Structure 1
Amino acid sequence: MPSLAKLVLYNNSITGTIPSSLGNLSGLTMLSLSYNYLEGSIPTVIGNNPYLSFLQLSINNLSGLLPPSMYNLSSVYYFYVAGNKLHGRLPSDLGKSFPSIQRIGIGQNRFTGALPQIITNFSRLQRLYAGFNSFTGIVPSGLGRLQNLEVFVLDYNMFQANKKEEWEFIASLTNCSRLEMLSIGGNRFAGKLPSSLANLTTNLQWLRTPSNYISGVIPSEIGNLANLINLDFSENILTGTIPEGIGEATQLTQLYLYSNNFLGHMPSSIGNLTGLSELDAHGNRLEGSIPPSIGNLSKLSALDLSSNNTKRNYGSSLTILLGLSYNLLDGPLPLEVGNLVNLRQLSISGNKLLGEMPNTIGNCRVMEILLMDENSFKGSIPDYTEFDGQQTEWQHPWQPSQHYQLAGVVPCPQ
């Protein structure tokens, strides 16, 4: 079919290799073979087509190197080979290739080496997905030249930053007014969190830095990022207090601060995040009283404040998780626990709770995991041990290597 311009076969069960005869389709502008079971290497002839503008080979079993001819695709604007077994280094003169490129997806492969500095010459680039590889070195500075950049994902590589100058890419990204997602989790970033993070565009919706070695404090102006939906600073070594300004990011639905060294009180402004569905701040050193404003979070479905130093907590309309294990909570478990009718997991192990287990817990009819061990409960187990015909899971307690201490009583859920 010498006149074929578009070949779209994605999301099938095609096996075998990509035939070299596709190189005969000199007028091909779109080739989409993703979500199949293709294997072997990418034929060199694919890169010889001067008109190919859309190439999608993701989610197959392709292996080997990217053939050098691929960098000659002068018309390509969409280049996706993610989710394969490709390896090798990106050429240092990569920026001279792909003059029309807008979207690059090379994640979930085995690429190594540095992300070339010259990538900042991709003036039309909108999205770069390079996560889940083995890239090393520092992130190129000068990313601010990419005025059309919307998504920048480098998760789970071996990028590093220790010195201020190695963090310059964050300051440079403040010039990218269209940026919507910045995700750099699972790397080797260390040193202090740059204050310039709060100067990123207000169009930013996803900001993720989990599983690194980042220290310092959250910038007090973090609330400037008013359109954030997902904010994830988990599993770092951040310290200081959670700033009041975080309550200005009123579009947040997911806030992950767990496994850091945050101190002080939970800010009262947290109650301004009325759209929040998940709040996880376990494994810190938060103290004092949790503000009553947390009761304003009517959409909150998962709350985990385990292993902190807080004296009091407030419930809400939880549907997934309430985690308060391994603290110093005391007193009886209130009857109002039965108001959490959609709760799937209740974890209150390792406290000083006492008295009888309330019968009202039987109202939690979708409960899947109930952890109440290592307390001082007495009396008999209520008859409500089966919920809608499914046996509740009584699990062996998880023993953390170290934990902080909550104190006070469990209040009645609002």
Structure 2
Amino acid sequence: MNLADNGLVAKIPAELGSLKKLVTLFLGPNNLTGKIPHSVGNLSSLQCFYVSYNHIEGNIPNELGQITSLTVLTMGPNNLVGSIPSNLYNMSSITVLSVSQNQLLGKLPANIGLTLPNLQIFGIGMNQFSGSIPLSMTNASHLEIVDISANSFAGQVPINLGDLKGLQRLNLELNFLGNNSSKDLAFITSLSNCSNLQALSLADNNFGDVLPSTIVNISTLGDLSLGRNQISGRIPADIGNLVNLHILGADANLFSGSIPISFGKLQKLQALYLHRNMLSGHIPQSLGPLPTEVGQLKNVGALDVSENKLSGEILWKIGQCLSLEILYIQGNFLQGPIPLSLASLRGIQYLDLS
């Protein structure tokens, strides 16, 4: 039964529980409200239960954990509260467990990777979960997507995450992970074993110390987000080995030294955020946005090189970037006149030269 993408309102009828042969039930996106009826536990043949993108409230019923055939359970975004029933963590048949964007809370069981050995997608982002990431997580060897972002997880990230050989996306952002110590980023070395890893987000945590040079061995990465931590030291010189990068965010850290020349190898790069660090020296010619070639960025909409130690005059060729809407170059050591060419930026909306 697929009722998704309609305008259905009101509550989920308890009578659905009488459909003993129902295998798949898609109820979202819609505008359903109320609680999930306890009668869903009678759907003894159910394999896939999808109620995402509604306005469901209340607790996740314990009865869902009685459906031994259940493999896919997706329940967010909604307005669910309370904790995930303990019996759901013991359903070895589950391959997809997604409850993102609710108000769920609690700690993850220490043995979650052992009791959910077939888990492939684990999404609990944007809730109120806390505690540490269980070491047993790596026992769920089929995991491809792990998203625990925007919660209150703390402590160190398990150092053996690289045992998840099929991992494609790892999102740990917006938590309290790490404690600004030398062990915070040790797990990155093991991720070199994840030959399919495409997205890694560590932004908005408490990660500190130097970024391990082994990060450059994860050549499949397309999205790397490190922003708003306390990572220090130099950006690894061989960062250009990440030839598949589309987005690199390293802003608001404590990176120092010069911008690596190898950035010029990143031919697929679409967004680069290095602002609010302690970088110094020249912008390398290999990068593109440099004194003689910045005018070639005809389609760039935003340019932010603020809060660094750039010196010299403001480049007149910035006026050739006719698509610019945002230009932030504040917080540097620039001097000299404001180029008349900036008057050519007819679409500019935000300009900070302070």
Query: Computing the radius of gyration over CA atoms, which structure comes out larger, 1 or 2?
Result: 1
Question: What is residue 57 of structure 2 aligned with on the other side?
Answer: 39
Deviation of the 1:51 alpha carbon:
0.9
Deviation of the 1:297 alpha carbon:
2.5
Question: What is residue 330 of structure 1 aligned with on the other side?
Answer: 336
Matching residue within 221, 244, 247 for 2:264: 247
RMSD: 1.7
Deviation of the 1:72 alpha carbon:
2.2
Closer, same or farther: CA 184–241 of 1 in aligned 2, 3 Å? same
> What secondary structure does 1:223 align onto?
helix
Contact kept? 2:132, 2:156, Cα under 8 Å? yes
Contact kept? 2:177, 2:207, Cα under 8 Å? yes
Distance 2:334 2:280 in 1: 18
Distance 1:152 1:203 in 2: 13
**Structure 2 regions of 5+ residues with no counterpart?**
1-18
Closer, same or farther: CA 97–27 of 1 in aligned 2, 3 Å? same
TM-score, reference length from structure 1? 0.76
**Structure 1 regions of 5+ residues with no counterpart?**
274-289, 351-414
Aligned residue runs from structure 1 range 167-316, under 5 A: 167-200=185-218, 202-271=219-288, 290-307=290-307, 308-312=309-313, 313=315, 314-315=317-318, 316=321
1:61 aligns with 2:79: yes
1:303 aligned partner, one-letter code: L
TM-score, reference length from structure 2? 0.89
Question: What is residue 9 of structure 2 aligned with on the other side?
Answer: none
Distance 1:195 1:229 in 2: 19
Deviation of the 1:333 alpha carbon:
4.2
1:6 aligned partner, one-letter code: T
Deviation of the 1:40 alpha carbon:
1.0
Distance 1:291 1:333 in 2: 13
Question: What is residue 175 of structure 2 aligned with on the other side?
Answer: 157
Closer, same or farther: CA 306–191 of 1 in aligned 2, 3 Å? closer
Distance 1:161 1:204 in 2: 25
Distance 1:5 1:294 in 2: 57
Question: What is residue 126 of structure 1 aligned with on the other side?
Answer: 144
Contact kept? 1:269, 1:293, Cα under 8 Å? no
Question: What is residue 93 of structure 2 aligned with on the other side?
Answer: 75
Contact kept? 1:161, 1:191, Cα under 8 Å? no
CA distances 1:176-224 after superposition (whole Å, capped 9, x unpaired): 0100000011111111111111121x21100001111111110000000
* Count of matched residue positions in the alignment of Structure 1 and Structure 2: 330
Closer, same or farther: CA 300–320 of 1 in aligned 2, 3 Å? same
Contact kept? 1:270, 1:294, Cα under 8 Å? no
> What secondary structure does 1:268 align onto?
coil
Closer, same or farther: CA 332–300 of 1 in aligned 2, 3 Å? closer
CA distances 1:58-117 after superposition (whole Å, capped 9, x unpaired): 111111111111012222111100111111111111111222111010111111111001
2:287 aligned partner, one-letter code: I
Question: What is residue 339 of structure 1 aligned with on the other side?
Answer: 344
1:62 aligned partner, one-letter code: L
Distance 1:221 1:69 in 2: 47
